[in-house]
Amino acid sequence: MKIIDCHTHLQTKELINEYNLNGNYAISIKALKSLIGNGNKFYRAVNDFDNIFIVECIDANKSIRKQLNKIEKRLKRTNKIIGIKIYLGYQSIYANDEKLYPIYYFALKHNLTIVFHCGVGSENLKDGFGSAYADASKIEDVAKYFPSVKFVASHFNEPDFESCANLVLNYDNVFTDISGGLENVTNKPSDIVVAEYVNKIEPLIKKYKDTNLYKKVMFGTDFFGAASGFGFKDEYVLVLKKLFDKECMDNLLFINCLNAYPKIKEIIKY
């Protein structure tokens, strides 16, 4: 069974080599210049890899129209771009802010997926700053208004997993992933990091066992290299195996990502 890592930051060839795709697929998400930022080098890094797709990003503090025009030009040159990320929380804006609506119309026009940072994240969100903006509940408004656009609430909206579960179960066009859940900046043994995350989320998975939640959750790592604290990969597969039945693995590791990113379906035949 092939695997698609729906959430990485493979910004350089060095990171791509460290990740070692081993015949599988990955989605590399471009970051704001203030976070990671790799400019045009980002495209040069992934250009030679047919099994890496690109999610662009929008800086909500700059001209959205100008940024969309640049993305539209890139779309004419490559089929690698499959989505656009908005860094809620890292930037002080809600998913349902009408300022962002041109992005959603653009996604509708070009069959792109919208990815949101959701939940408490690393770095500047650790102290709670920005977490209100990154709450997944605001996605409900745009999911209703744009039913033909696919949305991804990243990171399972940690720590409010339940509101995210309700969101993805209520809207066919909304998905989530477990990326970033194994952040390890203190160099704990991997088995401890895995156990801690499983213990946090397992009660919710058990509660929703008789639902289609397994069809809305994707395998994702947030991989940015071992030195970053976001270097786990195989451990995320282990997490999914601990949380879900064996019969769910095809969905979690591959099929759900195809459904969340319709552009990939044009390239990968399943």
In a domain, 103, yes or no: yes
Neighbouring C-beta atoms of residue 152, cutoff 10 Å:
30
Find out whether 201 and 236 touch, Cβ atoms under 8 Å: no
Find out whether 139 and 53 touch, Cβ atoms under 8 Å: no
In a domain, 98, yes or no: yes
- CA-nearest of 168, 141, 183, 139 to 256 is 168
In a domain, 56, yes or no: yes
Q: What is the mean pLDDT of each run of 10 residues along the chain (270 residues)?
A: 94 92 94 72 85 95 97 94 95 96 98 94 53 91 98 96 97 97 86 96 96 98 90 96 97 98 87
90-104 in b/e form (b: 16+ CB < 10 A) is bbebbbbbeebeebb
What CATH number did the domain enclosing 170 receive? 3.20.20.140
Name the 3-class secondary structure at 49.
coil
Find out whether 155 and 129 touch, Cβ atoms under 8 Å: no
Domain that holds residue 141: 4-265
Q: Which pTM does this prediction carry?
A: 0.95
Q: How many domains does the chain have?
A: 1
Please tell me the predicted confidence (pLDDT) of residue 259: 97
In a domain, 52, yes or no: yes
Find out whether 223 and 232 touch, Cβ atoms under 8 Å: yes
Find out whether 86 and 103 touch, Cβ atoms under 8 Å: yes
Please tell me the predicted confidence (pLDDT) of residue 269: 72
Name the 3-class secondary structure at 92.
coil
Please tell me the predicted confidence (pLDDT) of residue 128: 53
Please tell me the predicted confidence (pLDDT) of residue 124: 45
Please give the DSSP secondary-structure letter assigned to residue 141: H
Please tell me the predicted confidence (pLDDT) of residue 151: 98
88 forms bridges with which residues in the sheet? 91
In a domain, 121, yes or no: yes
Find out whether 123 and 164 touch, Cβ atoms under 8 Å: no
In a domain, 19, yes or no: yes
Mode of pairing for the β-strands spanning 81-86 and 217-218: unpaired
In a domain, 238, yes or no: yes
* Interior angle at CA 61, CA 58 and CA 66, nearest 5: 55
Find out whether 222 and 85 touch, Cβ atoms under 8 Å: no
Please tell me the predicted confidence (pLDDT) of residue 229: 85
Find out whether 142 and 151 touch, Cβ atoms under 8 Å: yes
In a domain, 270, yes or no: no
